[in-house]
Structure 1
Amino acid sequence: MTTGFLVRTATAEEAITVFKHLSDVEQWNPGNKDAEYFQRTYPDHFFVGELDGEVVSCVTAVPYGDCAFMGMYIVKPEHRKKGYGFKTFQTALDSVKDKNVSLDAVLQEIKTYEKSGFVVHSFLQMRHHGKFDVTNLYKPNKNIVPLNTFTNEQIAKYEESIIGFYRPEIWELYKNYEGGYSVAYAEDSKLEGLGVIRPGSNAYKIGPLFAKDTETAKQIFIELVNSIPKDSYIQMDVPSANAEAVKFAEGFLGFKNVFECKKMWTREPPKHIFNQIYGSFALEYG
Structure 2
Amino acid sequence: MVKDILAIRNMCRSEIDILVDWADHEGWNPGRHDAEVFWETNPEAFIAAEVQKGLIGAGSIASYGGNYGFMGFFIIRPEYRGFGFGRKLWYLMCERMLERLRPGASVGLDAAFQMQNFYAKGGFVFSHRNLRFCMEIPIENKLNDTRNHEVLPLTEIPFTQLLEYDTSCFSTQRARFLRAWLCQKDSRALGLVQSGELRGYGLIRRCRTGFKVGPLFANTIKVADSLLVELASFASGNSIFLDVPENNPKAMELTQRYNMKEIFGCARMYLGSIPNVAHERIFGVTTFELG
* Aligned residues of 1:70 and 1:285 also touching (Cα < 8 A): yes
Q: Displacement, 1:87?
A: 2.4
Structure 2 equivalent of residue 50 of structure 1: 50
Which residue of the other structure, out of 109, 126, 143, is the alignment partner of 1:103?
A: 109
Q: Distance in 2 between matches of 1:248 and 1:55?
A: 42
Q: Distance in 1 between matches of 2:182 and 2:41?
A: 13
Structure 2 equivalent of residue 210 of structure 1: 217
Q: Distance in 2 between matches of 1:253 and 1:26?
A: 27
Q: Distance in 2 between matches of 1:72 and 1:148?
A: 30
Q: Distance in 2 between matches of 1:167 and 1:237?
A: 20
Name which of structure 1's ranges 234-243 and 270-279 shifts more when overlaid on structure 2.
Answer: 270-279
Structure 1 equivalent of residue 155 of structure 2: 148
Alignment of 1:229-240 (within 5 A): 229-230=236-237, 232-240=238-246
Q: Distance in 1 between matches of 2:164 and 2:52?
A: 44
Once the two structures are superposed, residues 195-221 of structure 1 have per-residue CA deviations (whole angstroms, 9 ceiling, x without a partner) of 000011112110000011111111101
Structure 2 equivalent of residue 38 of structure 1: 38
Q: Distance in 1 between matches of 2:89 and 2:74?
A: 9
Distance 1:136 1:64, change over 3 A: closer
Q: Displacement, 1:96?
A: 2.4
* Aligned residues of 1:147 and 1:184 also touching (Cα < 8 A): yes
Q: Distance in 2 between matches of 1:134 and 1:118?
A: 38
Are 1:5 and 2:10 counterparts? Answer: no
Structure 2 equivalent of residue 129 of structure 1: 134
Q: Report the 3-state secondary structure (helix = DSSP H, G, I; strand = E; otherwise coil) of the residue aligned with 2:217.
A: strand
* Aligned residues of 1:119 and 1:266 also touching (Cα < 8 A): yes
Structure 1 equivalent of residue 247 of structure 2: 241
Q: Displacement, 1:81?
A: 1.8
* Aligned residues of 2:171 and 2:277 also touching (Cα < 8 A): yes
Are 1:255 and 2:260 counterparts? Answer: yes
Structure 2 equivalent of residue 157 of structure 1: 164
Amino acid at match of 1:100: S
* Aligned residues of 1:152 and 1:171 also touching (Cα < 8 A): no
Amino acid at match of 1:200: C
Alignment identity in percent?
Answer: 27
Q: Report the 3-state secondary structure (helix = DSSP H, G, I; strand = E; otherwise coil) of the residue aligned with 2:83.
A: coil
* Aligned residues of 2:126 and 2:268 also touching (Cα < 8 A): yes
Once the two structures are superposed, residues 9-54 of structure 1 have per-residue CA deviations (whole angstroms, 9 ceiling, x without a partner) of 11111012x2222112111001111122111210111111122222
Gaps of 5+ in 2: none
Amino acid at match of 2:288: L
Q: Displacement, 1:135?
A: 6.5
Q: Distance in 1 between matches of 2:263 and 2:173?
A: 30
Q: Distance in 2 between matches of 1:160 and 1:81?
A: 39
* Aligned residues of 1:64 and 1:165 also touching (Cα < 8 A): yes
Q: Report the 3-state secondary structure (helix = DSSP H, G, I; strand = E; otherwise coil) of the residue aligned with 1:96.
A: helix
Q: Distance in 2 between matches of 1:248 and 1:74?
A: 32
* Aligned residues of 2:218 and 2:224 also touching (Cα < 8 A): yes
Q: Displacement, 1:2?
A: 4.0
Name which of structure 1's ranges 84-93 and 30-39 shifts more when overlaid on structure 2.
Answer: 84-93
Which residue of the other structure, out of 278, 288, 291, is the alignment partner of 1:283?
A: 288
Q: Distance in 1 between matches of 2:271 and 2:141?
A: 46
Once the two structures are superposed, residues 222-250 of structure 1 have per-residue CA deviations (whole angstroms, 9 ceiling, x without a partner) of 111112212x111111000111111111x
Name which of structure 1's ranges 42-51 and 77-86 shifts more when overlaid on structure 2.
Answer: 77-86
Q: Displacement, 1:139?
A: 12
Are 1:192 and 2:193 counterparts? Answer: no
Q: Distance in 1 between matches of 2:209 and 2:138?
A: 18
Amino acid at match of 2:137: F
Q: Displacement, 1:132?
A: 2.5
Structure 2 equivalent of residue 91 of structure 1: 92
Distance 1:285 1:153, change over 3 A: farther
Gaps of 5+ in 1: none
CA RMSD of aligned residues (A): 2.1
* Aligned residues of 1:135 and 1:226 also touching (Cα < 8 A): no
Once the two structures are superposed, residues 77-126 of structure 1 have per-residue CA deviations (whole angstroms, 9 ceiling, x without a partner) of 111122222222222211222431111111111110012111112x1101
Once the two structures are superposed, residues 160-216 of structure 1 have per-residue CA deviations (whole angstroms, 9 ceiling, x without a partner) of 112313100011121112011111111233221000000111121100000111111
Q: Report the 3-state secondary structure (helix = DSSP H, G, I; strand = E; otherwise coil) of the residue aligned with 1:254.
A: coil
Distance 1:139 1:174, change over 3 A: farther
